């Protein structure tokens, strides 16, 4: 027995690990049997022999097993990683810091700019954080944790259905469902970063801080971006809070007026606020008619979606955008597969349709603004898809000045941007006379009768489930929809949603702004149905990126699969135009900042409010500041300091500089007045709107 | 597999392989080693390998030490990941399930319980955090703080303290002349509920209360955290950040948006004084005050629910200012002598801490107020006769406190002289104040003022203070609350000059004196009147049953020159007189003695007094400290400690009831475990308006 022990000891010394290997243990048993006949003296030699013998089997693959090597590799990697990590942390903090480009903040500080006017930031849709205040059992432990934005979205992967349930609103009221309270994250943290490392307002905040801004003169007007604007007041008093904050900052900063910086949907939210605050109490804030003139110096709209965005249409209609349809084209079946029973899109659509705010982004102004079947203000826009979006910009920079020349080459395949949704490519290009007309009466005829066919699918998720096959096909039958008929279409496919949302938003053009009906809040966020307040000293800026193809209209098809609860339409990503056409993957593109077309962002400042118009009776000065998109030149730049895309533009140094100068007291003329790269003026001229 | 095995040695340094070879093979020779090396390098040439194998069959690349380590680490990592994965995959309610399985069903948190009772959010709630617990973030800094923009310097993980300690100290300090920002540094309070919900990850301050309030329907629009920069003096928060204006505006907004319902204010610790200051400020006319008019408080405030309020200051603040230490540090020093004091690493931690904290005006707001009238003289103190049996074991303490009356009534023969807040030497602390003592005392005052002139610019504190001055301080022997202020004036004249511009520590003789309109009196309850708001209620909620620092025994520090010359004499112990490690303790919540937290509500403001002319009703709610029953409870749901009391279920329930509309009577009126009423009786303070002459013993 002693030899056995000794033997074990030896094997331990040699390689601690091998002892556990199966092959070896059997060996040991054999040896035990032998050893019974051996005497203790010979044990030593024998052990050595065994040692030698044992070496041979060690050559066999058995010994170094897969698991061992895995462990070894992982251990090796971990050790190296830790070592590097340790070294990294040991280094003095300043050594490793990437030499950041000195932002405009530093430069302007050297120029002697200091904080003057308090600044209010108004975040847009999606970018604001939402946190949970009360939830169902499945959301246990998430109290005051972010459900949306800010932190990582890990919870979404952990319990996706639970999250979707909590982020949805009540389908009838557009407010909280019973027992669920999700609220906007207040303060600057509400929207400084959307996800770790993905800044929204952070760069702007940091630069403003360089010239002396801090908590007392910088305010983030966080609101729940899922709600309709008036509902944020009803549920959270968000508008009252904003009013009180602005008044406080005005007073506590030595009676300096406020510079508001809204972004994206925040622009129309703030427009709503400006009307709300001057309206008498039951419906409005009761600030009196001079409130804006007294408290607001300038409204600097970034990427403003004044007239809506076509993206909202595709989102509501089929819960997809350009990106999604590309992915679908590349990997068909991933999203649509039933294997996992995920039905991601159906669920997403179900959630998104409870959000009133998306409806606020539907194109406003109807055919007058967005074009009808045969004409559109962007007519003759030249697209160049020869590039990936990188080379694109370099091309367009060269082409800034000779876009007129280029227009001459354009012969066929004119994009009919006016047809925001067409079913099939023919419908998108044929002349209007050859198309069946889409008229709303037709909708009403088909709708009511056959609604109740589809109940084999159980609980209806989206309102598509309540529609009959027949009416779904009727909608699609080779038709094209303009902005006006589009609303009818949406009312047809989602009557409840539109009924709910249209109590809060309107998408028309006012004939007569003095009509008392325009005192209702549903018109306040539509620049074409409200007057700007009487504040002749105020300034309105439209600041947006250009030079990125932006979704403008869509070619749809019927979805091939017809299982339960599926979305019956999808973007026809097989449709491509010829070279030079703006049609790609079923989407017509126009100039813009990737989300908002130039038309929507710039028209009000370029024409609708320019000078004294009926929408701008006091003649508030408007300025257009366009920023041409340039992709980041190197990886170090991150998302680029000259980007023009919808969110990344918040890191655009030129834009930040403009904002800082205005905040420090400059007027629009002092920062250079208009700065235009796109065709916005020409486009605006083509729009025939009584001013 | 064999290829894998053969690749391995290449990755390893040949050194380690050598070692491994040499270790296990006794008949290994140099040749073999070399051969092996070659094999390792040129393993691709099979002929060589074959040859080598032919020669020495046992030669073989083997497990080296490194390999074993790697393998071992790999195993651990994999196991760890597996566990992590399981943990993450575990349903979120699992830990609670386990807890309940072990300890039986937990009591419902008060929020859930009261929701079942049908309580709903009614009055908006304002939280006023105390000193230290609020987060601070960087808005502008020096080079060394690059990359910390809008990151927390205070609160959160404190990671930067370890990474760049000196930089951190520099940024946390204020300007020692003005008490405001140093040039080029802006550190600002974090705003919103996140400012003070957790002090550090997992260490709640307000979070539990917030969570419970949320259960009955509170949310962001009905809750407001009045975060302020707790380093500044109260009036300076308004001067620099307009904090008081913001609080005023926010309270007005809360009232307006909640249908005119008044707010319930919940200050904690120093926030109590801050809010007292606010209430005076808001009604004072515009240039100095907020211009809210004389009935602002009665229009906007339903109740002020003070938690652990140091109305009359805390003796701990003295020790902090005097020698940058408190009981904890003194004990640590006693356990590991030389660690904190040693100069080898040139840490001088305490000196840095002291330099930093002495730039904070707010610490001076906590110096005991009311002088000898409140805190006792050389021979008497209001707590006289307090017996502290077995104060070491908290459990015992609380059990005793349960049967409060009988045990406390037992007067030990030897009683601690709590009035002597600082004594040099145990004998001095215990000696009856004979004539000798008194003479020493008077004599030292003379020397004191003389020394004062010799070491004039004593900013870097003791460093510049002459030995004579230090000696004079020690010769002075014993200090009562009155003379303490003089002492601090002596050892840190600049700091106190700054501080006395913002705070006052006396007792008002005549509150109508126009000088009391100045803001420096506003945070001293003994020198201001409460606002005219007869419907308002003032609560004082605090924990009892924990030994709390009350007086100190000091000694001269052995290293004289380059360090703090005084320190707590940790060797001084006396079972009978509550003296332990140089600290005399009384009943309290570990930070604030009962006297400070309770006196105003027990006597100073009770009924119509000159400090409370409109007869605002006051209530005392004491919570007896019980340590957590087991580890799973965390910091306990019955705790009475200064910060942990924010998780005390009984307190939370009271707060929620008040917020939901209950009045003090409905809550049950006073709830007293300590002898606060007896002690208050001992204090001879003029409370009637007519005779504006206060008498002190």
Find all residues with CB under 8 Å of B626, minimum gap 6, and list them: B398, B545, B636, B638, B639, B640
Report the chain A residue with the minimal C-alpha distance to residue B95.
A141
Gap between the Cα atoms of A357 and A266, Å rounded: 11
- Is pLDDT at B412 greater than 50 in this prediction? no
User: For the residues B288-303, what does the mean pLDDT come to?
Assistant: 91
Residue A244: its pLDDT value, please? 93
pLDDT above 70 for A418? yes
The tokens for A226 are 């899922």
User: Is A14 touching B (CB cutoff 8 A)?
Assistant: yes
- Per-residue 3-state assignment (H helix, E strand, C coil) for A639-652: CCCCCCCCCHHHHC
Min Cα separation B570/chain A (Å): 37
Q: Which of A74, A143, A252 sits opposite B74 (nearest CB)?
A: A74
Is B360:B231 a contact under the CB 8 Å cutoff?
A: yes
How much is the pLDDT for A461? 61
- pLDDT for position A142: 82
State residue B539's pLDDT score.
94
Q: Is residue B121 part of a domain?
A: no
Distance (Å) of CA B682 to CA A391, A429, B308, B344 = 87, 97, 22, 50
In chain A, which residues have their Cβ closer than 8 Å to the Cβ of B24?
A: 13-15
Residue A97: what pLDDT?
Answer: 54
Answer whether B71 sits within 8 Å of A93, measured CB to CB: no
pLDDT greater at residue A538 or residue B48: A538
A98-109 confidence digits (pLDDT tens): 555 677 888 898
Strands A539-546 and A296-302: parallel
As a three-state string, the secondary structure of B595-660 is HHHHHHHHHHCCCCECCECCCCEEEEEEEECCCCCCHHHCCCCCCCCCCHHHHCHHHHHHHHHHHC
> DSSP assignment of A528-546, as one string?
TSSPPPS-TT-EEEEEEEE
Asked if pLDDT for residue B2 goes beyond 80, the answer is no
Mean pLDDT of B554-577: 72
- Flag whether residue A612 sits within 8 Å of chain B, measured between CB atoms: no
Question: What is the reported pLDDT for B476?
Answer: 73
pLDDT at A442 (0 to 100): 52
If pLDDT is split at 50, 70 and 90, which confidence band does A458 have?
A: low
Contact A650, A200 (CB under 8 A): yes
Model-level ipTM above the cut of 0.85: no
DSSP calls for A141-165: T-BT-EEESSS--HHHHHSHHHHHH
Q: How many residues does chain A have?
A: 691
B16 token code pair? 């380690």
Distance between A426 CA and the closest CA of chain B, angstroms:
51
State which residue of chain A sits closest to B2, comparing Cα positions.
Answer: A61
Residue A278 token pair: 């001057």
Length of chain B measured in residues: 697
State yes or no: pLDDT of B508 exceeds 90: no
pLDDT value at B89 more than 80:
no
Interface test with B, best of A67, A144, A179, A243 (most B CBs within 10 A): A144
Q: In this predicted structure, what is the pLDDT of residue A562?
A: 60
Please give the C-alpha separations between residue A448 and each of A191, A452, A467, A484, B558, in angstroms, as whole numbers. 44, 9, 9, 22, 95
- Can you tell me the mean pLDDT for A454-482? 69
Is residue B149, in this structure, part of any structural domain at all? yes
- The better pLDDT of the pair B464, A149 is held by A149
Mean pLDDT of B97-110: 73
Q: What is the pLDDT of residues B600-654, one digit of tens each?
A: 999 999 988 999 999 999 999 999 998 877 666 677 788 888 888 998 999 999 9
Which of A311-315, B276-280, B567-571 is predicted with the least confidence, judged by mean pLDDT? B567-571
**Tokens (6 digits) for B251:** 């309270």
Q: Which tens digit of pLDDT belongs to each residue from A160-202?
A: 788 888 888 988 888 899 889 999 988 888 888 888 778 889 9
pLDDT at B9: 43
pLDDT of residue B693: 45
Is residue B480 over pLDDT 80?
yes
Average pLDDT, chain B: 76
User: Please, which pLDDT band fits residue B55 given cuts at 50, 70 and 90?
Assistant: very low
> Residue A79: is its pLDDT beyond 60?
yes
Average pLDDT of span A53-62: 48
What is the tens place of the pLDDT at every residue in A238-296? 999 999 999 999 999 989 999 999 998 999 999 999 999 999 988 888 888 889 999 99
- B142 found inside a domain: yes
* pLDDT, average across residues A418-425: 82
Question: A232: which chain B residues are within 8 Å (Cβ-Cβ)?
Answer: none
Q: Does A137 contact B163 at a Cβ distance shorter than 8 Å?
A: no
| Residue B129, pLDDT above cutoff 70 | yes
Cα torsion through A254, A259, A261, A262, rounded to 10: 100
Computed from CA positions of residues B599, B601, B607, B610, in that sequence, does the dihedral angle turn out positive or negative? positive
Residue B451: per-residue pLDDT: 38
For residues B563 and B603, is the Cβ–Cβ distance under 8 A? no
For A372-468, where are the alpha helices, taking DSSP H only? Answer: 389-399, 403-409, 425-429, 440-449
Long-range CB contact pairs, A281-287, < 8 A, 24+:
A283/A519, A283/A520, A283/A521, A284/A521, A285/A239, A285/A240, A285/A243, A287/A243
Q: What is the pLDDT of residues A370-417, one digit of tens each?
A: 888 777 887 766 665 444 344 334 444 444 444 443 333 333 445 678
> Would you place residue B170 in the very low, low, confident or very high pLDDT band (cuts 50, 70, 90)?
confident
In this predicted structure, the answer to whether residue B536 has a pLDDT above a threshold of 90 is yes
pLDDT value at B577 more than 60:
yes
Radius of gyration of chain B (CA): 31
Structure confidence at residue B396 as a pLDDT band (50, 70, 90) = very low
Nearest-CA neighbor of B79 among A67, A65, A83, A157? A67
Across the interface, whether the CB atoms of A183 and B220 are under 8 A apart is answered yes
Minimal CA–CA distance to A188: which of A121, A251, A244?
A121
Give the integer Cα–Cα distance in Å for B573 and B360. Answer: 32
Question: Tens of pLDDT along A81-99?
Answer: 888 888 877 766 555 555 5
**Which pLDDT does position B79 carry in this prediction?**
87
Q: Give per-residue burial for B150-161: e unless 16+ CB within 10 Å, then b.
A: bebbbbbeeebe
Best CA proximity match to B328, nearest among B347, B350, B312, B308? B350
Buried b / exposed e across A263-286, counting CB within 10 Å, b at 16+?
Answer: bbbbbbbbbbbbbbbbbeeeebbe
- % pLDDT > 70, chain A: 72
Domain hosting residue B145, numbered range: 136-188
pLDDT recorded at residue B27: 46
Q: Which two tokens stand for residue B428?
A: 């001095």
Residue A325's Cα: distance from chain center in Å? 16
Q: Give the DSSP H/E element, type plus range, for residue A422.
A: strand A421-423
Quickly count: other Cβ atoms within 10 Å of residue B298's Cβ: 18
pLDDT in tens, A214-244: 888 999 999 999 999 999 999 999 999 999 9
Helix boundaries (H) for B90-201: 94-103, 110-117, 159-163, 165-172
Q: What is the pLDDT of residue A626?
A: 92
Give me the total of CB pairs closer than 8 Å, taking one residue from chain A and one from chain B. 157
pLDDT at residue B542, rounded to an integer: 93
B158 within domain boundaries: yes
Confirm or reject contact between A109 and chain B (CB < 8 A): no
- Number of structural domains in chain B: 1
pLDDT digits (tens, 9 = 90+) for B305-359: 999 999 999 988 888 888 777 666 666 666 655 555 554 444 566 777 777 888 8
pLDDT, position A333:
54
* In chain A, % of residues over pLDDT 90: 21
- Contact between chains at B256 and A240 (C-beta distance less than 8 A): yes
Q: Flag if A186 and B63 touch (Cβ within 8 Å).
A: no
- For the ranges A461-475, B258-272, B477-491, B505-519, the maximum mean pLDDT occurs at B258-272
N-term to C-term CA, chain B: 92
């Amino acid at each position: 027995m002693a030899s056995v022990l000794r033997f074990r000891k030896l094997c331990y010394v040699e390689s601690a690990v091998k002892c556990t290997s199966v092959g070896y243990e059997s060996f040991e048993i054999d040896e035990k049997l032998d050893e019974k006949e051996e005497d203790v003296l010979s044990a030593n030699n024998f052990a050595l022999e065994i040692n030698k013998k044992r070496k041979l089997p060690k050559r066999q693959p058995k010994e170094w097993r897969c698991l061992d090597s895995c462990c070894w590799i992982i251990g090796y990697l971990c050790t190296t990683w830790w070592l590097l990590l340790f070294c990294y942390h040991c280094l003095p903090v300043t050594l490793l810091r990437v030499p950041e480009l000195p932002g405009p903040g530093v430069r302007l500080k050297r120029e002697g700019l200091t904080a003057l006017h308090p600044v209010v930031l108004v975040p847009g849709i999606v970018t604001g954080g939402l946190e949970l205040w009360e939830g169902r059992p499945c959301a246990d432990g998430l109290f005051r944790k972010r459900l949306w934005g800010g932190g990582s979205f890990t919870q979404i992967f952990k319990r996706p259905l639970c999250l979707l349930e909590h982020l949805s609103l009540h389908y009838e009221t557009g407010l909280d469902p019973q027992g669920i309270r999700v609220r906007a994250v207040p303060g600057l943290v509400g929207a400084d970063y959307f996800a770790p490392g993905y800044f929204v307002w952070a760069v702007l905040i940091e630069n403003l801080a360089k010239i002396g801004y801090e908590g007392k003169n910088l305010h983030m007007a966080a609101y729940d971006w899922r709600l309709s604007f008036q509902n944020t007041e009803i549920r959270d008093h968000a508008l009252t809070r904003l009013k009180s904050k602005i008044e406080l900052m005005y007073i506590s900063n030595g009676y300096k007026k406020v510079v508001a910086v809204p972004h994206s949907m925040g622009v129309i939210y703030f427009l709503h606020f400006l009307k709300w605050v001057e309206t008498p109490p039951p419906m409005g804030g009761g600030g009196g008619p001079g409130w804006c003139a007294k408290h607001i110096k300038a409204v600097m709209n970034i990427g403003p979606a004044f007239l809506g965005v076509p993206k909202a249409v595709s989102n509501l209609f089929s819960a997809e955008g350009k990106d999604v349809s590309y992915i679908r084209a590349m990997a068909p079946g991933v999203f649509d597969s039933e294997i996992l029973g995920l039905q991601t899109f159906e669920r997403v659509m179900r959630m998104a349709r409870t959000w009133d705010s998306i409806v606020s982004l539907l194109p406003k102004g109807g055919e007058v603004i967005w074009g009808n079947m045969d004409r559109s203000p962007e007519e003759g826009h030249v697209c160049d898809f020869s590039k990936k979006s990188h080379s694109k910009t370099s091309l367009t920079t060269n082409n800034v000045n000779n876009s007129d020349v280029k227009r001459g080459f354009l012969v066929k395949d004119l994009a009919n941007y006016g047809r925001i949704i067409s079913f099939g490519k023919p419908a998108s290009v044929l002349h209007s006379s050859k198309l069946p007309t889409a008229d709303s009466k037709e909708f009403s005829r088909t709708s009511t009768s056959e609604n109740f066919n589809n109940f084999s699918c159980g609980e209806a998720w989206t309102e598509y489930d309540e529609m009959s096959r027949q009416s779904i096909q009727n909608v699609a039958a080779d038709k094209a929809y303009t902005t006006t008929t589009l609303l009818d279409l949406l009312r047809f496919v989602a009557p409840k949603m539109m009924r709910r949302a249209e109590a809060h938003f309107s998408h028309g053009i006012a004939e007569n702004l003095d009509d008392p009906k325009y005192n209702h809040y549903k018109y306040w966020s539509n620049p074409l149905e409200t007057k700007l307040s009487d504040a002749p000293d105020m300034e309105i800026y439209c600041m947006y990126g250009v030079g990125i193809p932006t979704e403008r209209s869509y070619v749809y098809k019927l979805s091939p699969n017809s299982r339960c609860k599926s979305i019956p339409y999808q973007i026809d990503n097989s449709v491509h135009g010829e070279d030079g056409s703006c049609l790609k993957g079923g989407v017509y593109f126009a100039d813009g900042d990737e989300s908002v077309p130039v038309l929507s962002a710039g028209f009000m400042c370029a024409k609708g409010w320019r000078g004294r118009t009926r929408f701008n009776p006091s003649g508030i000065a408007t300025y257009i500041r366009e920023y041409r998109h340039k992709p980041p030149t190197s990886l170090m730049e991150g998302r680029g300091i000259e980007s023009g895309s919808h969110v990344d533009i918040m890191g655009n140094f030129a834009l930040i500089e403009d904002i800082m100068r205005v905040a420090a007291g400059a007027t629009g003329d002092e920062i250079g007045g208009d700065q235009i790269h796109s065709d916005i003026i020409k486009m605006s001229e083509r729009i025939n709107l009584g001013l | 597999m064999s290829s894998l095995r053969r690749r391995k040695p290449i990755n390893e340094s040949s050194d380690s392989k050598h070692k491994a070879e040499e270790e296990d093979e006794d008949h290994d020779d140099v040749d073999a080693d070399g051969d092996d090396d070659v094999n390792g390098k040129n393993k691709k040439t099979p002929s060589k390998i074959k040859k080598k194998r032919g020669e020495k069959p046992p030669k073989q690349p083997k497990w080296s030490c490194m390999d074993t380590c790697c393998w071992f680490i790999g195993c651990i990592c994999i196991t760890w990941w597996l566990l992590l994965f399981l943990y993450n995959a575990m349903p979120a309610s699992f830990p609670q399930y386990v807890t309940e399985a072990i300890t039986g069903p937990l009591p419902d948190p008060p929020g859930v319980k009261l929701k079942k009772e049908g309580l709903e959010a009614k009055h908006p709630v304002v939280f006023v955090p105390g000193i230290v617990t609020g987060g601070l973030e960087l808005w502008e800094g020096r080079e060394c703080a690059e990359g910390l923009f809008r990151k927390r310097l205070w609160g959160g993980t404190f990671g930067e303290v370890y990474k760049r300690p000196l930089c951190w100290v520099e940024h946390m300090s204020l300007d020692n002349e003005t008490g405001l920002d140093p040039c080029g540094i802006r550190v600002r309070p974090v705003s919103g509920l996140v400012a003070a919900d957790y002090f550090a990850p997992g260490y709640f301050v307000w979070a539990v209360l917030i969570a419970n309030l949320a259960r009955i329907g509170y949310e962001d629009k009905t809750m407001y955290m009045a975060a302020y920069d707790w380093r500044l003096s109260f009036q300076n928060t308004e001067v620099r950040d307009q904090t008081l204006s913001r609080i005023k505006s926010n309270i007005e907004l809360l009232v307006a948006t909640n249908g005119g319902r008044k707010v319930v204010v919940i200050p904690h610790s120093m926030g109590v004084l801050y809010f007292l200051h606010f209430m005076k400020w808001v009604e004072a006319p515009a240039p100095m005050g907020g211009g809210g008019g004389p009935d602002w408080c009665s229009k906007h405030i339903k109740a002020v629910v003070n938690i652990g309020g140091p109305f009359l200051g805390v003796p701990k603040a003295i020790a902090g200012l005097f020698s940058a230490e408190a009981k904890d540090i003194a004990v640590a020093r006693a356990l590991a002598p030389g660690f904190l004091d040693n100069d080898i690493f040139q840490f001088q931690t305490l000196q840095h801490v002291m330099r930093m904290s002495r730039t904070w005006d707010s610490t001076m707001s906590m110096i005991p107020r009311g002088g000898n009238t409140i805190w006792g003289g050389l021979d008497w103190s209001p707590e006289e006769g307090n017996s502290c049996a077995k104060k070491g074991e908290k459990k015992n303490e609380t059990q005793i406190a349960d049967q409060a009356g009988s045990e406390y009534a037992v007067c030990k023969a030897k009683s601690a002289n709590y009035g002597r807040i600082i004594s040099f030497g145990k004998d001095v602390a215990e000696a009856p104040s004979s004539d000798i003592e008194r003479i020493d005392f008077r004599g030292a005052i003379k020397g004191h003022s003389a020394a004062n002139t010799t070491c004039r610019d004593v900013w870097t504190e003791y460093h510049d203070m002459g030995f004579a001055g230090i000696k004079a301080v020690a010769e002075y022997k014993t200090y009562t609350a009155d003379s303490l202020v003089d002492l601090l004036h002596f050892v840190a004249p600049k700091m106190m000059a700054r501080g006395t511009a913002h705070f006052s520590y006396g007792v008002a003789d005549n509150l109508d004196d126009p000088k009391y309109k100045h803001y420096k009196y506003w945070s001293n309850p003994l020198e201001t009147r409460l606002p005219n708001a007869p419907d308002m209620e003032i609560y004082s909620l605090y924990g009892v049953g924990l030994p709390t620092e009350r007086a100190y025994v000091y000694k001269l520090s052995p290293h004289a020159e380059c360090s703090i010359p005084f320190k707590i004499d940790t060797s001084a112990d006396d079972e009978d007189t509550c003296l332990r490690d140089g600290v005399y303790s009384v009943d309290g919540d570990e930070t604030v003695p009962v006297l400070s937290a309770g006196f105003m509500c027990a006597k100073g403001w009770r009924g119509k007094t000159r400090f409370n002319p409109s007869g605002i009703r006051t209530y005392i709610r004491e919570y007896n400290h019980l340590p957590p029953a087991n580890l799973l409870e965390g910091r306990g749901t019955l705790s009475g400690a200064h910060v942990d009391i924010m998780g005390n279920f009984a307190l939370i329930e009271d707060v929620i009831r008040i917020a939901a509309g209950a009045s003090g009577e409905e809550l049950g009126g006073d709830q007293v475990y300590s002898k606060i009423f007896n002690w208050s009786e001992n204090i001879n303070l003029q409370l009637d308006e007519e005779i504006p002459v206060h008498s002190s013993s």
